[in-house]
A and B are shown apart, each in its own frame.
Chain A
């Protein structure tokens, strides 16, 4: 059997490894195709490479030797055509590859909107999701004094932090009234906003980007905001989300069914025979269901592993686990589990705030059980929090056992009794 995997990101690589764990090289030939980088690298660590905390080689989670030992073939090229009847794909180099099973793990690309003046921009506008974006940022940093970051999400903060590290004057433009309302409540958003400002970044909320200005050479020179303000900038970082990287599939000979992403059922099968999709590019759900698009590292990893099972003929029915995520905004760590935003009205919220330090916990619950946790400024064991949600534990139980889920370093655990509490109905 020849399994061809397009995309060597986390979903593609995990799928390849999962297949290899079960089938020897005699039973399965595995080919990984990617244009971006010859080896799997950790996209999540791009900012550390940019900030010189890591070297590029350190971004690779597996030793290069591993591909040789596991007999996983790699091709650095771009797939330009797919013929499902002939079971072949065509590369830009002109070569044609036949497959028995094909996994599309092509990920996502940065979302973009047609800002005014965009057509004149030839340089200075950066995204921050690919290795090429990193090259681009590094090339521009030397000639940049001021930068603007657009978009109130995680990649935006990462980019802003990296810019600050390089001594640029950074303005961070967020459309919403406070930072990241998609995940945080107003109080927490304010704390993060404070942290962002504390690092010398001008955080501009409630503003949209209207125009992009550029000089004669086409290099970004500034931006105009919706309130008429003008910000000078030689670099503009646009981090307003990502969209599944599927446009190229509209032009191939046999195109799988597409929604926002590649439509797959819960076993990662596309509408084409023997073609599967997983990771950021996959839109999961049978007809009539609300399609699921997950763009988180851990989800992509899990999807890659499950898709490998489906490729090998297992009965797979993917259901995402109780939602969890974690991140870090400069020095503040954040863990979220379960439902925290967009909860049904009537849900109760217990908000606990440390007297002097930016440490908070928010627990959402109703009469019967806890529903979600949003923890800021200290470390938590999400598996235990997830377990309490799954076990439908009442608030009283959770409060009594909360200390068990603390995950901070020795000597660093805060005394959970020293928190101001506020309970309210949402």
Chain B
């Protein structure tokens, strides 16, 4: 039941797919449309470029820097709200502070400062396959050596290694800008994710298909660089796949769909259904040390965990079955543990549970086992 007053109405409407929420989504769609297509002519209709003048007035190099500034502000302001909301929970306070810090530095100031020093714009917080161009030979040839080393070693060694020890959460909910926005500005919408088993079935296919496309595109682009001179048709095909992937995945899915759908589809649409980086990390996570531990027979099936899982995992299904679990999509945001009124859930980085000298099952369940 919503709270009293018109403010109560607005709050409910905005966070429960009311007309205001749809308006906000439409507004975000328009924002991204003008951001991407402003200044161009589509089907004979010129699209006004609203953001370049604003960027110029603010003495920013381009509208993309202006977008980066807005993005950083959204994370900082949303992050302050999240820190306040979960101030009693140190995991959330530290995690959110790191998210704000990483966005403000690695994802915003550092690339900008690099351009001031006439270096290539490089985002240390994004790695392959999220940032596919860092693996393209043309990019590698144009980059200074430290950046190349970070691209290669970061993607191929650091990412899986950290994934083994901490799960995908070190990236998806501590570093990544997409996750950062979801966990800060997106906080009021996190309960909107679809929890049905149908959504899960879709997710398993969609995310691995994008991963496959990412691998294929990278392989073809590298191959066409090597042999392209002899097979011009092949090089052409690789280039068109590359631009198609760039348009569909990077622009459409991660930007427009990923963010604009927050108010009606929940915050992690991109991360959950499409992000190739999340797909790789999720696979690593399943075999690593990370898992969510469930206290035996303490769950009261209230469903707060499932409701507030932004990845649409039905956490309650595991908790009420007393089952510790690792799900490929879990980004380890820790909100399920935070909202659980009985403290049933805990994120852990251990191979297995504490050694128990005598098992509880033997002691307690034996007596009433039929």
Contacts and interface: CB of A to CB of B under 8 A. Distances in A.
A58 B191 CA distance: 10
A53 B307 contact: yes
A113 interface: no
Interface in A305-345: 306, 309-310, 314-319, 321-322, 324, 326-328, 331, 333, 335
B327 interface: no
Contact of A383 (B89, B296, B304, B320): B296
Most buried by A among B1, B90, B295: B1
Interface in B296-354: 296-304, 306-307, 316-317, 320, 334, 337-338, 341-343, 346-347, 354
Contacts of A383: 295-297, 360
Size range of the chain A interface in the assembly = 35 or more
For the residues of B in contact with A, the DSSP-based class is: loop
B358 A387 contact: yes
A138 B16 CA distance: 18
A142 interface: yes
B363 A387 contact: yes
Contact of A166 (B4, B302, B303): B4
A42 B301 contact: yes
Contact of B88 (A10, A321, A331): A331
A389 to B, nearest CB: 10
Contacts of A298: 297-300
B41 interface: no
Interface string A27-62: 000000000000000101100111111110011110
Contact of A411 (B91, B357, B365): B91
B91 A167 contact: no
B197 A44 contact: no
Given A65-B197, A298-B297, A58 B303 contact: yes
Most buried by A among B90, B334, B358: B90
B364 A322 contact: yes
B303 A306 contact: no
Contacts of B300: 42, 44-45, 297-298
A302 interface: yes
A211 to B, nearest CB: 29
Interface stretch (A70-78, A236-244, A253-261, A402-410): A402-410
A353 interface: no
A302 B370 contact: no
A386 interface: yes
A302 B317 CA distance: 16
A50 B360 CA distance: 37
Given A63-B197, A65-B197, A383-B295, A167 B3 contact: yes
Contacts of B88: 331
A409 B337 contact: yes
Contact of A316 (B12, B90, B94, B368): B368
B193 to A, nearest CB: 11
A379 interface: yes
Contact of B342 (A49, A302, A328): A328
B89 A45 contact: no
Contact of B297 (A302, A316, A333): A302
Contacts, number: 145
Most buried by A among B89, B301, B306, B317: B301
A44 B91 contact: no
A301 B356 CA distance: 25
A424 to B, nearest CB: 28
Nearest to A401: B354
Contacts of A60: 303
B346 A409 contact: yes
B147 to A, nearest CB: 32
B1 A49 contact: yes
A286 interface: no
Contacts of A315: 370
Interface in B250-307: 295-304, 306-307
Contacts of A54: 191, 303-304, 307
Contacts of B354: 384, 404
Most buried by A among B94, B343, B365: B343
A285 to B, nearest CB: 14
B367 interface: yes
Contacts of B307: 48, 53-55, 58
B301 A52 contact: no
A165 interface: yes
Contacts of B338: 409
Given A59-B303, A309-B370, A379-B343, A326 B298 contact: yes
A306 B358 contact: no
A411 B94 contact: yes
Contacts of A165: 3
Interface string A370-385: 0000000001111110
Interface in A131-158: 137-138, 141-142
24 contacts: A42-B301, A44-B301, A45-B301, A45-B302, A48-B302, A52-B1, A61-B316, A61-B317, A166-B3, A166-B4, A167-B3, A297-B300, A310-B370, A316-B370, A319-B367, A321-B365, A321-B368, A324-B298, A326-B343, A335-B343, A384-B356, A409-B89, A409-B347, A412-B89
Given A298-B297, A321-B364, 7 more contacts: A44-B302, A54-B191, A138-B1, A327-B341, A383-B360, A408-B343, A409-B338
Interface of B: 1-4, 12, 16, 88-91, 94, 191, 196-197, 295-304, 306-307, 316-317, 320, 334, 337-338, 341-343, 346-347, 354, 356-358, 360, 363-365, 367-368, 370
